[in-house]
């Protein structure tokens, strides 16, 4: 049995060396075929096979093929490099240090949508390795990825968002990577996607970063449905996306309460925020409480803050059910208050709609 395994391994190693030889010393057609063979061989293989191909010296010639005037050569090398990089951080780093980023950035400018989106997928894959992030961030890739948010296919846009998220989360100053031109396409993506999806989580995170600058806040509030989309994410998002969305809304309101308070209230934010004080992550709960306090109409000195309300409810629960069950009872009481508040808000909306005369309703 061991001898059979050893024979198989030797055959595989011989094949790897033959393919590497064709790639390094063959003519253009041989190189293209070798790149295709590499993709095929590593696609469903163990991580070891990727490492063995790298050890055989295939990465540098594949990177050089990215500069070929022959589009088939570029595509074959891109696909081979993508497959070598998957689940192998060492290969990701080797590909970048071999000079792959400048030709990939050039491919992001291509009119050929297939090559452009393969390059986007490659940037995404390579940006997952932390040591690669500074070089990719400095390469000028980010503005081109933002363009793909507007003009790319569905998969291209998903890859571009994920790549931008990778680069931003690895940067000391993410606002140097993102600029306000990203706001409108990100808002549109968040509108279209399921609010609890991984895509929504990354998109909301990027909008949270952009909300930290005055230009970003202006872009969010002036984008059609910008604030509404964040409110809807607070209502329907996952634990992660709700935390990012409420964070962005809070930053807006803290930056200029007089300007953003009415805009946020107008989009019906209260029910979702109340629910988040009970059901969100610890950070999201705290942000929701702070935002609710800012949205209240009464002056600060007269406000009953969310934390005080919780303490009052806890004290009541402690008297009713005792200290052992107080936390559980308080949570149930707060949830009931949230649901009642949401029902009351809906009743007010329905009442307002029913009382509108035809003259009050804008024509289509």
Domain presence at residue 7: no
Nearest-5° angle of CA 162, CA 111, CA 216?
40
The 10s digit of each residue's pLDDT in 118-169 is 999 999 999 999 999 999 999 999 999 999 998 888 999 999 999 999 999 8
Q: Which residue in this structure is represented by tokens 């909300």? A: 211
pLDDT for 176: 76
Domain presence at residue 76: yes
Mean pLDDT of 352-362: 45
What's the pTM?
A: 0.80
The 10s digit of each residue's pLDDT in 182-206 is 999 999 999 999 999 999 999 999 9
Answer yes or no: is pLDDT of 207 > 50. yes
The confidence band for 356, taking pLDDT boundaries of 50, 70 and 90, is very low
Q: In terms of residue numbers, what domain contains 80? A: 14-98
Domain presence at residue 143: no
Domain presence at residue 19: yes
Domain presence at residue 83: yes
The 10s digit of each residue's pLDDT in 270-289 is 999 998 998 899 999 999 99
Question: Residue 54 and residue 266: Cα distance in Å, rounded?
Answer: 57
pLDDT for 312: 58
Last residue of a domain, one of 98, 127, 162: 98
Last residue of a domain, one of 43, 63, 98: 98
- Number of structural domains, the chain? 2
Q: What is the mean pLDDT of the chain?
A: 86
Buried b (16+ CB within 10 A) or exposed e, 327-355: eebbbebbeeebeeebeeeeeeeeeeeee
Domain presence at residue 222: no
pLDDT for 174: 80
Last residue of a domain, one of 59, 74, 98: 98
pLDDT for 334: 62
The 10s digit of each residue's pLDDT in 274-330 is 989 988 999 999 999 999 999 987 555 444 455 555 665 566 556 667 777 767 766
pLDDT for 359: 40
Domain presence at residue 154: no
Percent of the chain with pLDDT over 70: 82
Domain presence at residue 67: yes
């Amino acid at each position: 049995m061991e001898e059979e395994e050893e024979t198989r391994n030797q055959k595989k190693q011989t094949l790897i060396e033959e393919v590497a030889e064709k790639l390094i010393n063959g003519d253009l057609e041989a190189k293209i075929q070798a790149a295709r063979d590499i993709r095929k061989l590593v696609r469903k293989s163990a991580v070891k096979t990727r490492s063995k191909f790298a050890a055989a010296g295939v990465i540098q010639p594949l990177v050089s093929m990215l500069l070929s005037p022959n589009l088939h050569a570029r595509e074959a090398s891109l696909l081979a490099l993508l497959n070598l990089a998957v689940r192998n951080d060492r290969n990701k780093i080797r590909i970048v240090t071999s000079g792959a980023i400048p030709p990939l950035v050039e491919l992001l400018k291509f009119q050929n949508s297939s090559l452009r989106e393969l390059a986007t997928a490659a940037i995404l894959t390579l940006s997952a390795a932390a040591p690669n992030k500074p070089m990719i961030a400095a390469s000028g890739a980010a503005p081109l990825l933002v363009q793909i948010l507007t003009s790319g296919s569905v998969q291209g846009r998903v890859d571009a968002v994920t790549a931008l998220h990778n680069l931003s989360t690895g940067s000391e100053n993410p606002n140097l990577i993102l600029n306000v031109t990203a706001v409108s396409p990100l808002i549109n993506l968040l509108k279209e996607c399921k609010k609890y999806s991984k895509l929504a989580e990354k998109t909301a995170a990027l909008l949270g970063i952009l909300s930290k600058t005055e230009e970003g806040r202006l872009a969010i509030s002036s984008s059609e449905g910008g604030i509404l989309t964040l409110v809807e994410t607070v209502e329907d998002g996952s634990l992660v996306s709700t935390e990012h969305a409420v964070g962005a809304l809070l930053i807006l309101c803290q930056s200029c309460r007089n300007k953003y308070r009415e805009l946020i209230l107008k989009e019906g934010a209260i029910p979702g925020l109340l629910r988040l004080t009970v059901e969100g992550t610890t950070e999201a709960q705290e942000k929701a409480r702070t935002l609710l306090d800012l949205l209240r109409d009464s002056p600060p000195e007269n406000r009953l803050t969310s934390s005080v309300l919780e303490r009052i409810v806890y004290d009541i629960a402690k008297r009713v059910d005792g200290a052992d069950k107080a936390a559980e009872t308080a949570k149930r009481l707060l949830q009931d208050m949230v649901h009642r508040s949401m029902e009351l808000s809906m009743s007010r909306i329905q009442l307002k709609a029913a009382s509108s005369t035809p003259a009050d309703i804008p024509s289509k």
